[in-house]
Every structure is written in structure tokens, then in C-alpha cells.
Structure 1
Amino acid sequence: MRPALRLLPLTLCIAVSLQAHAADGKSAPTYKLCPLVDAVPAFEDVQKAPEGLNILNNNQLPTDLEGDLLSGTEANPVFNGNVTMRRGDQFMGADQLTFDKAQNRYSAEGSVRYQASGLRMRAARAEGDQNSNTHTMQNLEYQLLSRRGNGKAQSLNMAGDIGSLYGATYSTCPPEERNWELRANRIDINTDTNMAVAHGATLRIGKIPVLYLPWFMFPTNEDRRTGVLLPSMSNSNRNGFDYRQPIYLNLAPNYDATLMPRWMSKRGGAMSGQFRYLNEAGNGTVEALWMPNDKLRDRSRWLGHFDGIQNLSPNWQFRADINWISDPRYYEDFNNNIDGLSQVTSYSSVGAYGRGQEWSAGVSADHWQLADFTLGKNILPYDRLPRAFASWERHMNSALQFGVDAEAVRFHHPVYAAGSRLDLKPWISAPLEGDSWFLRPTLAYRFTGYSLDHSLGQTLGDNSPSRGQSIFSLDTGLFFDRDMQVKGKDYLQTIEPRLFYLNVPYVNQADMPVFDTQPLTFSWNQLFRDNRYSGADRQADANQLTLAISTRMIRQSDGHERLSLSLGQIRYFADSRVRLPNEPITEQGRSAWVVDANYAPTDRWTIGASYQRDPKFNRTDLASVRARYLLPNQGVFNLSYRYRRALLEQVDASFLYPINERWSIVGRQYYSLRDSKTLESLAGVQWDSCCVAVRVVARRYVQNRAGDLGNTLMFEIELKGLGSAGQDTQRALRRAILGYNRDDLYLVPPQIATGQPSTQDNTKIP
């Protein structure tokens, strides 16, 4: 009677296939609101399979058949009362089972129960013919054990590898709260090819049918399959009605593609695509968009993008990030958030990079493309075509280290003349340190030489300018710590004074070009650097001393940093005469005070501040205050203020507030005090249930360089375990709200206030 169990895995294939068909690539939903009640209750007489048993091929295992009473004849035995049949991890139970040895047929009646890996099922009756390998079941219900899927069917017929399920339903909702359900008149399944065809399928939300598919094919396992995915629809005043229909192409086990026809009522049609590949040594993604005619711009639009890595050897890796756009307005027109407007250039790079125990090196090339139609190509940075660099260092012993940093670059620009640059910086250091102190003297020599285009050389007065400078620094500090108690809790408090002396003789660099060098933003880290510029075109002269002190308070029970405070300033003993064009000389005296502070008065509150004040002019150069509060029930509130003299003054407030288990609201107000203008406003609401979530998010944002504000309304409905339709609200919320960092689609952040993982159900559904 072993073949009697062959029909049962078919129902599991059907239930799995509906979820595999619905998977849209997004993170798995959670079911925290679902009651802990199974659609098919657990069977008391099921026993676990013995440990170590190989259940991958149940057909080769013996079948154990038991019952309270055996009657009938030898040719037609009848088992009655608590009939159980077990083989491997498969179990069947019934009130009565009859077997006809002559016809090789069986029938099971009365509370037919079946359970195997991943599936629990019950039916009114089951019967089959072993000779023809045909089986039927009537009035069946099923429950997926490792998933939330459950459903019913009027009947199941199977002949060999081909089966049909009639009057089938599927949902991840509990039977008493059927918020959504998929129904099909008939589902034909081929267990050999793992493919199925549904006839007359209807998707219902509540009792209302919202989608009808007369015919569609889907897989019966979790393998990727070619097919049509759920569409995305939105509406905005920029694009009008926007419809996207993704089509997935499973080309091979290690590469695939997605095509996405798109239609925008105000712009026209477009086609985009994505190709992904994966091999043993790397992976990559190719993306492209083509619009033959944008009705708003009266021209074709396109985008090309490649992002990939490839391991060339244990020490070398190839990396590429290539972007190409059709015109400088592309990002403005095809991005519906403020991030797109802040992008004035499109950057591409490609190179091979290596790293060893005492060295690192690379050869690369990069290119800049204009992405702001209000600007000219003269604002573009110089391309580096190519760039080669290497760093090597050697630790002779604990008291002596030496090395060299080298770079060679050929620059190119669409407007300006350029040239080549060689930069060499050998150095030697003799670090000394103990448990509570360190002393690190370092001596370096930096040589930079150029080979310039003739026109640039004429302008600067020399085709081959060069520079050589010695650089001496002395970095020293102390560590003091003590144990202390605050409100009965043990803390470790530290005090860390630090001195950093830097001496670099002056060398005239007025005849040297400026290719990739800019002043670094003054900050805490800048207090301890040997050059205030990025790039090698300028090496600042210096005779200065940094005085700094930091203190921290660390909770000893878990290492949580309750307080950190840092204060520092540079004392300039002489004027720094090296400068970029139009940059003022750094005069003798004192730099701005740099203050960084972070304080967590409770596990819910985090407060931070940064402040820079210039005593020479008695003015504030920078001020930043930020606060974050973790609301009960996994909500969050953020508030920040940012000021930089002559550049910006902004406030930013955002929140996620769960009203109760089912309702959440989100919001953001990003405002420029300097311009008296809103940069972005966002307001949204979500209703959540056991198996359905609905999100509506309204946004008002700067949509072009002129500062005009645009409006968009994003709507998304998620049928948990089946997929979602509408715009991806998760991306907008993650970008807008600090702390919205879940991997699923909820508005609730992933951790409670104490930082521990959420206890809600996070069952993964592929």
C-alpha cells in the first residue's frame, strides 16, 4: 500500500506554487497580528520521524499500517478505528481503510488526515488505483506548516505525474478573517516538469473580486521561472499616470533579466531592463532605459548603468560603476525625490584593486558627466584617465615603521587643458606606546611633479613644475579611566587628552595646477591631519599644535556609550601661506573651536551636537543639533537643526507613530530657514491586518532646479504571501525617516527601545 501516499505531495506543490508565483523580490512580510490558530489543527496521533532517517525518498521506506480492528477477508482487508499509516515523515490517518488486493485499489474514509514535511491536510475521503497510478480526494483542506498559506479544494484527481485540483482556494489569512483569497476553477499540475496551469483564477479582497485571469502558468516549486510580475502604478503632476509592467526572464541558474515596459501619460512610452549575473568569482548588474520620444522634452531619453565586481586572484579584484545618461536633465525628470535634484554630475569608475599584508595598489579610470542643465561643462571635475596608486609599509619591530605612498595620474577635461601628475611620499615612524599613553613621531618627504599640456604650461609659466617638502608630525596622548556609579549602575569614565604637532616648511606652489584638490571641511578629524587639502596639487605649509581632549562614559553591563564629549582647537604659530586661488591665507592665531557631543539620557533618547566657533571673528561657523526618541511600540521621532555659515540653515523633523497595532502614521517636514522654503513634506498612513496592509503616502518636494514644488500620492496594497501592487513606499520612507530601517514593508522599525530584536513572527517566505 505504499503507492497510496503518492497523491498527497500534489497538494503541497499547489500551495507552494501559488506563493512562488506571487513572489515579487521584496522582503518577507511578518504576521504579528495573525492569531496562533492553524486552519487545519494539529493531529494528536502524528509522531515525529526517527532521528537520522533519510526522508528524501519515502518510496524506498517500509509502510507501517495499524488500526483498532481488522476485518474483511485476506483478499480485501478492512482496517477500522484509529487507522494510521506511516512511512518516513509521511502520516495518514482515517476512521476506515479498505484495500482490494485483486484490483490493487484502496479507499480511506472518515476523518482522513495527512501530514508530511511542510504540509498538514484533512479530507472527507481518499481512494486510488495502484495499477493505473490514479488517485482522488474529496473535500480537502490544507495548511502549510512552515508558511502561512492555507486553503481548500472540492476535489483532487491525479494520474501519474499529471494532476488536477478543482475548486481550489489559497490565502495567508486565517479562515475566520479572509481578507484576501485566490480562487481557481481548475489547476492542472505536472509534477515532472514542476509547472501548473490555472483556469479561471480570481483574486478577491474581502468578498470583492478585483482581478480575473482566465489562464496563467506558474511553477510548483521555488525555482525561478519566466513570467509576468505584479505591475506598479502611480500618478504625479510630473509624469501623469505612470504604469510599469515587469516581465521576469529566468535565463539560466546564474543569470536572469527583467524587462519593464513603462507608459507615462504626460511623457509617452519607455522600455527599461535589468540583467544580473553571478559566478564563482563575482557578480554584476546591467541596467538600461530607452524612451524613443519624451513628449515633454521632444527628444529621446536613455540611461545605461553597470555595477559589478570580479575577483581576479586572492589579492586582486576588478570593480566597476559605470553610469551614462542621455542629457543633463535626465535625473531631474526621472527621479521623484530630492536626492535626484542634488546630483549635478554623473560619475563612472572602473579599475583593478589589490591588497596584501603590507601593501595596497590599484589602476583605475573615472569620468564625470554633466547632470544639471543649468550649469556648463566647466564645473565638471577632471577625469582621471588613468590613475595608478600604491601604498607599502613595513614594520621592522614595535619601535620602527616605514613605507611609501605613490600615485600617478593623467587628467583630462572637456573644457580646460590638463596634464599628468606624479606624487611620492616616503615616510618613517617610531611609535612608542603603553597601556595609558602613546607617542608617534613621523617624518615624511612629499614630492609632486607634473607634465602639463603646452597651453596650460604657458599659462602657469612652466610645463614641468614640481614640489618637494618635508613633513614632520608628533602625535601623543594619555588615557585616564575610573569606575563610577550613576543611579546604581556601573560606568567606566575616560579622559583622553591629546596633542598633535605638525611642521611643514613653506614651498611656493603658485605655478602648480589644481586638478583634483579642494579644502577639506573643517571637522574633528581635520585637527589631526598633515594636510588641509584633498588631492596632491597642494601641500599646506604648517607650524601648528592641536590641543584636544575627549571624555566618554560607558555602561559596563553592556558597553553602551552613555556620553561622549570632544573639544579641540589648532594653535597656528605662523601664517600658512599655501593656498588655492581666491582662498584666504590661514593666519597666525587660533582655529575655530571644534565641539562634538553625544548624550543618551535614557535608552530611548539620543541627543547629539556639533559646534564650531571662530574666536578671531567671534562668529559661529557651524552648528548642528540632532535628537532621536524611540517611542513605545517601536515608533520613532527625529528632530535636527543644521547651520553652516553662508551656506545653509535647515530644520528637519520626521516621525513614525503607531497609533495601535493596526494603524500607523508617518511624516516629515524638511525646511530651509535660509530660503524660507519647504524642501520636502511627507505624510502617510498605514492600516495593517493579519494578512493585508494598505499604505498611502503623500509627498510634496522640490522637483526641478528652479525650485518648483511637485506633488505625488503613493498608494500600495500588500497581500502578505502573495505580493504588493502600487508604488514602493518603503524606499521613500527609508530615505526620509532616520530609523526606518526594516527589511520588510512595515512602518514599524525593527528593534524595540532597548535595542533587542523584535519578538514578532518573522517567518521567511521566498
Structure 2
Amino acid sequence: MHFCLILFFFAFLLTPGFADDTAWNCQQDKNSKEWVCSGEKAPPPADEPLVQKPVPPAPAEVKETTVTESAPTPIPETQVEVKTKPQPQAEAKSELQPKAVAEKPIPVQATVTHKAITVKENLRQEDTRQAGWHCKAADGSQDWNCNLTGPDPKGQARPVATKEYGFSLVAPAFDAKQEQVFGSLASQLKYDPWANCSVEPGVAPSRFTPGRHLRDVSPLDVNADYGEVFDNEISSYEGNVEITRADQHSLSNTAQYDSVSQTLDLQGEVYYSEDNLSIYSNSANLKLAQDQATLRNVQFINPSAPLRGRAAAAYRESKSLSRYKDVAYTTCPPGNTDWVVHASDLKVNDATGKGAAKNAWVEFKGTPVFYSPYLSFPVDNRRLSGFLAPSYGNTQLGGFHATVPYYWNIAPNYDATFKPRYYTKRGLMLAGDFRLLTPYSNSKLGLEVVPNDQERHISRFLGSFKNTSQFGQHISSNLDLNYVSDKEYFGELGNALSFPNFSHIRSTADLGYRDRSKGISLVGRLENYQTIDKTLTGHKRPYRRLPQVNLDLDHAFDFMPLNAALDGEYVYFQHQNLVNGQRLNIKPSISSPLHNEWGFLTPKVSLQHTDYQLSEKNSADPNNVPKNWPGAVTRTLPIFSMDSGMTFERDLGSAGSSMKHTIEPRLFYLYIPRKDQTNIPLFDTSNYDLWFSNLFRENRFSGTDRVQDANQITAALTTRLIDPESGRERLKFNIGQIFYFQNREVTAPIRIRNLPDFVMVPEEGFETPPETESVSPLIAELSSEFTEHWSGETGIQWNPETNDIVRGKAVLHFVDESERILNLGFHYRRTDLVERTLIANQNIWQQSAADNNYNPLTDPAVLHSNDLVQSDVSFRWPLLDNWYAIGRWQYSWLYNNTQETFLGVEKENCCWRFRLIGRRYINNINTVNSANTQLAEGTSQSGVFFQVELKGLTGLGERLDTFLEQSIFGYRSRQNELTTP
């Protein structure tokens, strides 16, 4: 709990201050029945709950008076000089004798400077300017309809609604008068702390510049209606006493300052404000030398929290120790008391960073929901041992689970969190993590253990270790190690919010040297995968990289347009069921980028050399030659490319509404000679999915096990409509196509999914047939930011050889300031690659399939295993009274099945948040191997999750922020939430 927010009101103990307190005088006109209100410094009506300020009597003619006093025993560093300046009508002057005291109070304007105190008293000038309001009762409403006449010294006009309180088991924490005082306190601050709920806790808006650092060099100015100075020691002021120093500002009815004891007494409706605090109190006694103070009936606002509250009494016992009686506080804005914390006694120690409360209880929506006779908590960013907020959840396979974490602050640079969790279907899980922070590294060790799973009757565990280290300016390392006891762990014991649709657990360790100024990057890496998808066995599992070393060099010459680069890699691939191999790849290149504002031309020449040393599976001996593969393979290929483009632009429309229109043609030529590469196994290579951005790649394969043969040119055109004021692309259209001058005979084998086990499949997969088309599919993409809130994109690929649409997508986004979100998407992918590959490899699978009376060419689950027809809808939409519906629905039209869905509600304002969602998804999706079925199989999982958070205090339930941000495009979680270790 962040009781540290209360601490900021200790700063007033150094010196008090205030801002203006203007009252309104309203009368009803008997003829027009309208209310006429004027703003002036006058006492409000007797029944007005606002603070009353005395009105000084009209002063008589006053002569300018100068008083100079010298005490018998001079006070060090203290001087008093009093000057009074007459009103305009006063002309007479007189001089008083030392130690003389005025027979009656003199209206003054005083300026006081501590340590060298100077008092200048001037007659207070009354401001004759007045602002007026005309108000009348609105028809059929309890509100007032007010219109402003003339300048308004208090701000803009607005209707004032009558506050209606709903059902409550307890009396409101703050009555109407206190709420009005909070409104006055908020108006004195430099910025509205509740204006933007996304402000991070403890951080003022970037536009605000604090003035705390000016206190030591700024004088203490005192303005008052009347002032007296006695024996050059005691100063007394009455009537609208206003004290200002730097960012500190106070106002009170009376003030007395004793320069000997350095005691300041403020009495009668004391207001005080500074950069990070605004306070109201009946009285304040400040002992400046001892750093002690006593305040009665205190109300305060801390804008950096933001937090507001009250206390019957506040005692400042030392610079670091404070005590409070009968405390109530909340982070809700004035007028809202959805949750309030109460405590009979509160003690805060700044030196130790600890606080303690007695008889503390939490009120939510007028209902007590929590009580504790004693609470201990941190008051700043220092971590303290103790229990954290519990969390709850429910999953179909794990049952209901609850967690009560305990945080152990072992030392300033290392700590631990114990998170035992109980599942109603699985039993007890012992979990925790350990963190270590050093000047050069950051480490975290996590462990989860289920000693006895009640369903499986086995022990299960999950372990992880993460480390990031920086050794000097250029050398760094990263570790991310993970291991799980069994393949079903995440599906049965994992959180259903953690996106468990993955098939492998990745572990990596790398050490690198990077110097971007010199264009040098050298990284060594170890990479391992643990497969948890039961359908992926044998050759379907990925290779391990033990190790991998990458060297990248890049240098641009200053005296001429020439760039030189080198891409180098060494990697050792290991697999339990497939051939092992060591691969060395070196690719030097030289390019000459020529460009200006209307176009560019970049010729580039590369030479790619790759060397393989192959060995039998599970063997590190390169001489152990595997079956069907040579022991060593070498490949060297030259690569030439030339990229060119031009930009034409003009302004469309008239001045003030013009748009910038561009036309950007682009040509990309690529030549790579053909080389047979069928004797090279595939370690990490596959085909890129073809979209507009991939039309300009030098290789249509990922990885380096295949280098395409190419003699082709890409022709593309981009046109844009750009708003010159905002830079927003109102419209962007891309169209492009590749023209081939030869067939592409270098292909990559594929492993066809969903084939039955009895079908004979080579370990390396089926070899795909050569591509003979003369042109690629025609690709067109259109995107637009229609307005500030609407945007969309769409794309389509048309194959002129087959006259078919082979790719398609359409996405529409709506996001506005009120956080309404709507996303509609549709994705389409069709390919005949599987069918063509099966036909080209009939001699391999035909006999085994015939023995089982099975033909994969008639099985839609096989032929469409690489296809995708899916819609995606996500939203966040208002319902009623700041309640929002949130949800997502992913549906596969190919398999007639819902792949992912969740639906819930949330409500969030500046002081609390509530979320409730139910989720259902399919994990480890695989299609049924049936000739007449296109359904998807997988582990079906569902769960219900909720989150309740009282901002600035604590929260219950699962953290849903990351899940919603990843699931709903445009969703942004507010950042002023409680930070836990």
C-alpha cells in the first residue's frame, strides 16, 4: 500500500503558504428572478460552508511611518525595518520613536525575509473590479443555469449539479464542506492531478516545472490587512494573511512569528500549497528550528500520487518522524469516494522508509471490505518484506486456484518472492523467484514444483533462469534458460492468459561485442528447444544450435559513395533423429548507394561462400558420413542486384486544404546463377511468404541452406496522399510483380502436415517441383488513415497463371479518445504447393498409401494443411456509466471452428479498476487425418479471470493488462497502477 503518498504534506513544515480564496456574493433579482453573483473578497453568507475571511474596516487617513528598532541585546542575523505607504488621499507624514507601538492596527502589505528579516508595510489597495454571474433554475432540473457577464477571476463558467449519494452502509468519508475545501485545494495546484489518469504515479506532467529549489534564495513575502511588530522580535498579522516564498503559498486569518524561538503560528482557516502539496487546516503551529509542527483538522492533496485525505491532527516530531490521528485518504478525485482507507493512528518514519497503522479498514462503495488491527507498509520506493496482494483464477483442467505471495527483502540488491498456489484439482504448487542485481548484471531465478499432482500422481516442475550482463561499453551477455518436466505442464497447470499456443520452449545463451560507431558486431550463441507439442515427433522437431557465431561488419567510405559489408556465420546443428552438420557461411558485399531528393540507384555485388561438414545423427565426428548425404559440401555463388527508384510529388487542392501526392516507381533487378543444392540438408531454411515487402529480397528462402537461382526484375509502384500538417498518410497504394526470365529450379523440401504415419515420408521431406511460371502473383496493397480514429489496410494477390486469388487480407481499425476500440479482420491464404509436391513425389508414397487404401490427394486435411481462412474481431465498447465490454473472436472458416475467444467487462477510472473475462481457446492445433473431415483437433481449454484494483492501494486477481494489450489492437492500459516487487 502506498501510504508514502501522505508524506508529501510534510514539506509545509518548513514555511507555510496559500493561493487566492475569492468568495461569491449572490442575490436574486426580484423582477427577472435571476441570480446575480459577484466575485469579491467578502465573507460568504452565514449558511455557506466555505471559509470565512474577515473584511477590514475602512482605514482612516494614515501617515507614512518609518520605525527602526534596536533591541538591548541584538538578535543575530535579524533586522527589522517597517515602512507604511499611505493611501492615495493621505499626504501627511510623521516619524515614530524607537520601540513605539501603534495605538491601533495599521493596514499593511508586508515583505518578510528570514535570517535577514525586512518588513515593508503598505496600505492594501482594494480591487474594484468584479466579475458577475447571472443564474436561474433550469427547467425540470435541480441544477443552476449560469452565464458569465464580464471577466471571470475564477475561471470559466459551468453548471453546478447537486450531488446525489447512492446507497451506503457508512457515512461518507468526506462531507459536503470538506469536498468543497478539496475543490479549493485542487484549484491552488499548478496542474490538475486528475486531469489525465494515464499519468504515472509520483511523476508530474512534463509541462510542469517545480520551484522547490528556489526556497533557499527567495524572500518570505507577507501580505496582510493589519500588521504589528513588537520589540523587533514578534510580528503579528491579521486579516487575509498571505505568505509566499518560491513555490510555497499560504493564507490564514492571523499569523504570529517569533524570531527568537523561530515559531510560526497560523490560525483561522489556514490554506497552504506548494509544488507537490495543498493543505487546509484550522490551525498550524510550526517550530522551524526544531522541525516540529502541530496541525488540527487537516485536509490535504498530494498531486503526484494523486491522493487526497484528512486527519484530525498531525504531529511532526522531527525531520523524519510524523504521527497522525483519525486518518482517511483516497486516490479518487474530489467528489468521488468510491474507496477510502481509514486508520485511527498512523506513524511514518522517513529515515527507515516504514509506516504503521492501527485499526485500519478499507471502505469500497460505502461498504467496509477489509479490516486489520495493525498494518506495516513502505512509505517510499524502498522495498520491505511482507505479503503482497493475492490473486485468483480458474481453469478447466487445473480448477480454481489461489495465490498469496510473500515478498522477502533480503538485501538492497537481492530479494525473493514466495508464491505458493493451490489448485482444487491438482493440489499444492510451491513456487517462487529470486532476483539479484549487481552494477553489471540483472538475474532472476524462477521455480515451480508440484510435489504430487492429484490427477496424475506424479511430481512436476518448471524452472527458468534469466540474466542480462554488461561488461564495459561494448560487451554484453544474455541468458534465458527454461525447462519443464512434461509436455502437458502448461496446458494443465499454466495460466490460460499466457498464450500457450506454442510448440517449443526455447533456451538461449549469448555473448556479444557490438560497436555501432565502427560497424562491428560479433555474437556467440547457444540455442536449444524443448518440444512440448505431442504431435511434433522425430524429424518435426527443430535443430539445436550448439554453438552459433555471427560476425557482421559494415563500413561506409566518406570520400566516395561506397559501402563494404561482411556477413559471417558459423553454426553447429544437432538433432536426435536427423543428420547433424557444421555450416560456415561468408558473404562479403560492396554497394554504391547513389541518391538525392528525387531518386536513388544502388548497385550491389556479393559473393556467398558456404561450407558444410555433415555427420551421422547423434555424432559429433565429421568423418562419420551419414546415409544419403555426402560428408562435405561446398557452395560458392556470386550475387548481383540493382535497386532503383524515383519520387514525383505535387500539391493537390487549395491552400489550407492541400494534400501532397507522390508517385514512386521502383525497379529491382536480381541475378544469381543456378547451382544444384539438393545435396544440402535443410537446417533452418523455409520459403518466405510472398507480400509486397518481400518483392525486393535477394533470397526468397530464409536461412542460408538454399540460395535461389534468379534472373528476374521486380516492377513496383507506390503512390501516397499525405497530409502535410499531420504527416498522416491519408492513402497509400502499392502494386508490384516479379517478371522471371528463367525457371526456378532451386527449391526447398517441405514436410507435409497431417499425413498418416503409414505414409512413407523422407526424413528431409518431399522435394518440391521447380517453378515454371513467367511472372509472380500480382500483389496490390491499400492502406489508409481515413480520419484521426479510423484506419484500415487491405491486400490481394492474383495468380495470372491460374486466374485465382491466392492471398487476401482486410483489416479495419477504430480507436478514439474515449477509448472505444473496434477491430475487424479477415485473412485468406490458398496454395496448391502441397498438391503439386505430392504429384511430383508419387513414387515415394504411392505404394505405402495403396497398401492402406489411402490417397492423400483426396484428403482435404492434407491438401489444405497450409491454407488459412480466418476472421478476427476484437473490441472495447462502452455499455453504461463507464462500463466497457471487451472481447475477441477468432474463427476458422476452413475448419468451421472457433480458435480463440474471450468476452468480459471492465470499468476503470482514476481511482479503481475492475475486469472480468472468460476465455476459451484451442491449444496445439492439428487437423484430423480423415479424407472427409476438415475439423481441427487440439486441447480445448477455458478459464475465468478477474481483476480488482484500488489504485494507489492494492489489487486482487490476475494482471490482465499484458493479455489485453496483445489481444486487442489499440488497447493501452493506464500506467498509474500499483507497482509491486
TM-score where L is the length of structure 1? 0.83
Q: Which residue of 1 aligns with 2:920?
A: 700
Deviates more, 1:110-119 or 1:70-79: 70-79
The aligned residue for residue 658 of structure 1 is 878
Q: 1:533 aligns with which of 677, 695, 701?
A: 701
Name the aligned partner's letter for residue 699 of structure 1.
Answer: R
Q: Matched residues in 2 for 1:105 and 1:442: separation?
A: 81
Q: Relative to structure 1, is the Cα distance of residues 487 and 286 closer, same or farther in structure 2, using a 3 angstrom cutoff?
A: farther
> 1:155: which partner in 2?
313
Matched, 1:180 2:339: yes
Give the deviation of 1:40 after TM superposition.
6.6
Q: In the alignment, which of 650, 658, 683 is matched to residue 903 of structure 2?
A: 683
Output the CA distance in 2 between the equivalents of 1:618 and 1:44.
69
Q: Tell me the residue number matched to 1:731.
A: 962
After superposition, the Cα gap between the structure-2 partners of 1:497 and 1:111, relative to the gap in structure 1 and judged at 3 Å, is closer
Pair 284,377 (structure 1): closer, same or farther in 2 beyond 3 Å: farther
Q: 2:726 and 2:949 mapped to 1: Cα distance? A: 38
What CA distance in whole angstroms lies between the structure 1 residues aligned with 2:574 and 2:393?
Answer: 42
For 1:631 and 1:51, how far apart are their aligned partners in 2?
Answer: 32
Aligned position for 1:630: 815
Distance 2:600 2:303 in 1: 60
Q: Deviations over 1:511-562 (max 9, x none)?
A: 2222122122222233222222122222222222222222222222222112
CA distance in 2, matches of 1:189, 1:745: 23
What does residue 779 of structure 2 align with?
594
CA contact under 8 A between 2:899 and 2:921: conserved in structure 1?
Answer: yes
Provide TM-score, normalisation by structure 2. 0.66
The partner residue of 1:372 within 515, 518, 533 is: 533
| SS of aligned partner of 1:516 | coil
Task: Identify which of 598, 604, 608 aligns with 1:446.
Answer: 608
Distance 1:615 1:423 in 2: 37
Residue 419 (str. 1) matches residue 581 (str. 2): yes
Asked whether the 8 Å contact 1:40–1:120 carries over to 2, the reply is no
* Aligned: 1:303 with 2:471: no
Contact persistence 1:543–1:574 (CA under 8 A): yes
Residues 202 and 668 of structure 1, relative CA distance in 2, 3 Å threshold: same
CA–CA distance in structure 2, aligned partners of residues 140 and 429 of structure 1: 73
- Which residue, 358, 362, 373 being the options, matches 2:523? 362
Moved more, 561-570 or 660-669: 660-669
Shift of the 141–604 alpha-carbon distance from structure 1 to 2, 3 Å rule, reads: closer
Q: Which piece of structure 1 moves more, 514-523 or 153-162?
A: 153-162
Structure-2 separation of matches of 1:218 and 1:492: 59
Q: Residue 473 of structure 2 corresponds to which residue in structure 1?
A: 314
Task: Find out whether 1:492 has 2:660 as its counterpart.
Answer: yes
Distance 1:336 1:130, change over 3 A: closer
| TM alignment of 1:349-748, pairs within 5 A | 349-353=508-512, 354-356=514-516, 357-396=518-557, 397-454=559-616, 457-485=625-653, 489-581=657-749, 582=766, 583-630=768-815, 633-645=818-830, 646=864, 647-659=867-879, 662-689=882-909, 691-702=911-922, 706-744=937-975
Deviation at 1:96, TM superposition (A): 5.3
2:312 is aligned with what amino acid?
A: Q
Deviation at 1:465, TM superposition (A): 1.7
Shift in Å, 1:623:
1.0
Question: Is the 2:224–2:238 contact (alpha carbons within 8 Å) kept by the matching residues of 1?
Answer: no
1:638 is displaced (CA, Å) by 0.9
SS of 1:465 mapped into structure 2: strand
1:506 to 1:730, Cα distance in 2 relative to 1, 3 A:
same
Deviation at 1:62, TM superposition (A): 8.5
In structure 1, give the amino acid aligned to 2:552: S
Deviation, 1:212, is: 0.9
Task: Map 1:23-422; keep pairs closer than 5 Å.
Answer: 39=182, 41-42=184-185, 54=213, 68=226, 81-82=239-240, 94-95=252-253, 109-115=267-273, 118-125=276-283, 136-157=294-315, 159-160=317-318, 162-174=321-333, 176-278=335-437, 281=440, 283-337=442-496, 340-353=499-512, 354-356=514-516, 357-396=518-557, 397-422=559-584
- After superposition, the Cα gap between the structure-2 partners of 1:263 and 1:595, relative to the gap in structure 1 and judged at 3 Å, is same
Aligned to 1:21: none
Q: Quote how far apart the aligned CAs of 1:201 are.
A: 0.7
Tell me: higher relative CO, structure 1 or 2? Use CA pairs within 8 A at least 6 residues apart: 1
Pairwise CA distance, 1:179: 1.6
- Following superposition, the deviation at residue 335 of structure 1 comes to 4.2
**Counterpart Cα distance in 1 of 2:189 and 2:539:** 76
Give matches, 1:7-18, under 5 Å.
12=9
CA distance in 2, matches of 1:363, 1:222: 38
Give the CA deviation at 1:88.
7.3
Kept in 2, the 8 Å contact 1:113–1:122? The answer is yes
The answer on whether the counterparts of 1:85 and 1:91 sit within 8 Å (CA) in structure 2 is yes
Alpha-carbon distance in structure 2 between the residues aligned to 1:728 and 1:53: 37
- In structure 2, what is the Cα distance between the partners aligned to 1:442 and 1:367? 36
Measure how far apart 1:611 and its partner are.
1.7
Q: In 2, Cα distance between the equivalents of 1:338 and 1:614?
A: 40
Aligned length: 721
Deviates more, 1:453-462 or 1:531-540: 453-462
| Contact 2:240–2:252 under 8 Å retained in 1 | yes
Change (3 A) 1:686 1:427: closer
335 and 484 in structure 1: CA distance in 2 versus 1, 3 angstrom threshold? farther
Tell me the distance in 1 between the aligned counterparts of 2:669 and 2:436: 51
Q: Against the structure 1 CA distance between its residues 62 and 588, is the aligned structure 2 distance closer, same or farther, given a 3 Å change threshold?
A: closer
- Equivalent-residue separation in structure 2 for 1:393 and 1:44 (angstroms): 58
The answer on whether the counterparts of 1:162 and 1:189 sit within 8 Å (CA) in structure 2 is yes
Partner amino acid for 1:737?
I
Select the structure that is richer in strand: 1
State the Cα distance separating 1:449 from its structure 2 match.
Answer: 1.2
Q: Is the 8 A contact 2:614 2:629 kept in 1?
A: no
The 3-state SS of whatever aligns with 1:470 is strand
For 1:155, the aligned partner's letter is A
- Asked if structure 2 preserves the Cα contact closer than 8 Å seen for 1:355 and 1:361, the reply is no
> 1:211, CA displacement in angstroms?
0.7
- Structure 1 residues 129 and 622, CA gap change in structure 2 (3 angstroms): closer
> Helix, strand or coil: the match of 1:340?
coil
Indicate the SS of the match to 1:122: strand
The code of the aligned residue for 1:494 comes to: T
Identity of paired residues, percent? 29
Amino acid at match of 2:916: V
How far is the alpha carbon of 1:672 from its aligned partner? 0.9
The amino acid that maps onto 1:140 is V
Aligned counterparts of 2:919 and 2:388: Cα–Cα separation in 1: 26
Task: Check 1:154–1:509 CA distance in 2 against 1; reply closer, same or farther (3 A cut).
Answer: same
CA shift in 2, pair 1:556/1:75, >3 Å: closer
Determine helix, strand or coil for the equivalent of 1:41.
helix
Check 1:420–1:711 CA distance in 2 against 1; reply closer, same or farther (3 A cut): closer
| Matched-pair contact (CA < 8 Å) for 2:8–2:276 | no
* 1:380 CA drift (Å): 2.0
Unaligned runs of 5+ in 1: 1-8, 16-33, 747-762
Per-residue displacement from partner, 1:220-258 (whole Å, max 9, x unpaired)? 334333332221122333332221223334445555443
Check whether the contact 2:297–2:311 (CA below 8 A) recurs between aligned residues: yes
Measured after TM superposition, the shift of residue 183 of structure 1 is: 0.8
Larger Cα-atom Rg: 2
How far has the Cα of 1:386 moved from its partner? 1.0
AA aligned opposite 2:532: A
| CA distance in 1: counterparts of 2:950 and 2:11, whole angstroms | 18
Q: State the Cα deviation string for residues 471-530 of structure 1 (Å, max 9, x = none).
A: 222333333333323897322222222222222222222222221221222222332222
